[in-house]
Amino acid sequence: MNAQHLMRRAAENNAWANHRLHAVCARLSDDELRAPRTSFFPSIHGTLTHIALDDAYYLEGLEALAAPEQGRRCLATRARRETRTCI
Annotated binding site: 50
Rg of the chain in Å (alpha carbons):
15
- DSSP secondary structure string for all residues of 16-76: HHHHHHHHHHTTS-HHHHHS--SSSSSSHHHHHHHHHHHHHHHHHHHHHHHSHHHHHHHHH
Binding residues for a divalent metal cation: 50
